[in-house]
Amino acid sequence: MDADGAILREARRATPGSQPREVERVIAELVDELSGDHRIASVGIGAAGWMDLEGGTVLFSPHLAWRNEPLRNNLERLLRRRVLLTNDADAAAWAEWRFGAGRAEPRLVCITLGTGIGGAMVLGGRLERGRYGVAGEFGHQIIMPGGHRCECGNRGCWEQYASGNALGREARELARANSPVAQEIIKAVDGDLDAITGAVVTDLARRGDPTSRELLEDVGEWLGLGLANLAAALDPGTFVVGGGLCDAGDLLLDPARRAFARNLTGRGFRPAASIHRAQLGPQAGLIGAADLSRVNARGNGWVR
């Protein structure tokens, strides 16, 4: 990536199993491959996991075997280059703040709606990562005590109500009830109800299926309620909402905006945040990680 956020070259590999050494080896191969035509000043890693505050260690990753893994040192040894290690949601938020829908917003909150909810904040031009580096887990605010079980071990987390997974679960439940209103959804998966996902529902909604639109509306309302909670606490100027579920566009975001306006505490006596769709799509994470590594290598340390 260049200094303006333009991607110069891109390469992809599937994650090779979950062993840390293997993953490091493939990352090194990728950097080698990409360094063919360009001088690479620094390398940024945006990964799904909790990083320590200094950005050296992956404390925990839900999908890989990283547990207190000193990933940055390992990679710097392999790559002989400066490496910046960051959380993928932080990286995406940084990208939207630098080049996307949250450009220059002094108080930005980003939400990524995928299987769950990722979150990050850029406050006063800095990623706010909390005391130990694990801030931004907005998806795990409990908004329904005793509600749906969450992978995190709790019940009633926001992401169980406002995410792609939530949309899929609601649609499957409707289809299993064999409701007449669910027939389009059942048809779309040829009766294989386990194949109903949030993406299936989103696609049907865009093609006009009224039931799928209702389901998206329900998810949008939960989204808006949770954003109102975040606005009560954080008072951002802008929310940027990205992730796969945003393919639904305003079918999701309009109900979210209405629910946000209805549930915002102090409405009428305060300015309200605007809610924008992310601009950089699935590339936000890599753009943010690369830009953070560049900023960091220049010595304008982003880590406080």
Residues that bind a copy of itself (CB under 8 A): 50, 59-60, 105-107, 119, 123-124, 128-138, 140-145, 152-154, 157, 225, 228-230, 232-238, 263, 265-267, 269-271, 273, 304
State the minimum distance, in angstroms, from the CB of residue 152 to a copy of itself: 5
Query: What gap in Å lies between CA 169 and CA 231, rounded to an integer?
Result: 27
State the minimum distance, in angstroms, from the CB of residue 265 to a copy of itself: 4
Q: Which residues contact 288 (CB under 8 A, 6 or more apart)?
A: 44, 46, 86, 90, 91, 92, 93, 94, 95, 96, 98
State the minimum distance, in angstroms, from the CB of residue 60 to a copy of itself: 4
- Distance from first CA to last CA of the chain, Å, rounded? 24
Q: Which amino acid is at 137?
A: E
- Nearer CB in complex with a copy of itself: 96/137: 137
Query: What gap in Å lies between CA 144 and CA 76, rounded to an integer?
Result: 44
- Nearer CB in complex with a copy of itself: 157/290: 157
Count of other CB atoms within 10 angstroms of residue 21? 9
- Nearer CB in complex with a copy of itself: 106/282: 106
Beta strands in 49-106 (DSSP E): 50-51, 58-60, 67-69, 82-87
State the minimum distance, in angstroms, from the CB of residue 167 to a copy of itself: 18
- Nearer CB in complex with a copy of itself: 63/176: 63
State the minimum distance, in angstroms, from the CB of residue 134 to a copy of itself: 5
- Give the distance from CA 216 to its chain's centroid: 18
Taking the CA of residue 234 as centre, how many other CA atoms within 13 Å lie in the half-sphere pointing to its CB? 26
- Nearer CB in complex with a copy of itself: 175/230: 230
